[in-house]
Amino acid sequence: MEDDPPVKHIMKANLVTVTPNTSLTKAASIMEKNHVGALIVMSRKKPIGIVTERDFLYRAMANNLDPKKTRIKEIMTTPIHVINKEVSLTDAAKQMTKLRVRRLPVVNGDNSLVGILSQKDILKIAPHLLIVAQEHIRTYLEAILSGNGNGVKTKVIK
């Protein structure tokens, strides 16, 4: 494998998705069953959001939301950042650091969802990118300490 392979060689193609109207209870069950830390929220075959374990903790549990009545659309991050499958791992790691995210949905040329890339995926293949991940952690901790770490809205990368 090349020194800086494209995202498509590292991403996970077996995506786990939900709809915006999925209950938190159902979504948590799906995450547990599939051993994943994030779900892509889909509408009309397009990714419209992402929900992570952190969203469950900070947006649902911390606000005492009823998991049977609350829908994913109420806690998901939207719009989401995506990355093209041809982008290099180094550039993907830099984007994650810049955007303060640990996961990026992966799209092909027509913006159809084809996979998901996590920091863990990158570090398994390219441990030399640990420095980029460490910068992400430092930036993230600084944001938390300054009070800017929760509820950050994101935008789609084009």
Query: Can you tell me which residue has the tokens 């430092």?
Result: 138
Query: Which of the given ranges, 24-28, 58-62, 126-130, 146-150, has the highest pLDDT on average?
Result: 24-28
Report the distance separating Cα 128 and Cα 126, nearest Å.
Answer: 5
Reported as a single tens digit per residue, the pLDDT across 18-46 is 999 999 999 999 999 999 999 999 998 88
Confidence class of residue 2 from pLDDT cuts 50, 70 and 90? Answer: low
User: What would the mean pLDDT of 48-69 be, rounded to a whole number?
Assistant: 90
Give 76's contacts (C-beta < 8 A, 6+ positions apart).
Answer: 20, 41, 48, 49, 50, 51, 55
Q: What is the mean pLDDT of the chain?
A: 84
Q: Give the residue extent of every domain in the chain.
A: 7-146
Q: Poorest-confidence range of 3-7, 37-41, 74-78, 102-106?
A: 3-7
Q: pTM of the prediction?
A: 0.75
Helix then strand count (H, E) for the chain reads 5, 6
**Is residue 150 pLDDT above 70, yes or no?**
no
Task: Characterize the bridge pairing of strands 38-43 and 17-18.
Answer: parallel
Contacts of 53-62 with CB under 8 Å at 24 or more apart are 56/24, 56/28, 58/150, 58/151, 59/151, 60/24
CATH superfamily placement of domain 7-146: CBS-domain (3.10.580.10)
- Identify the bridge partners of residue 100 per DSSP, sorted by sequence position: none
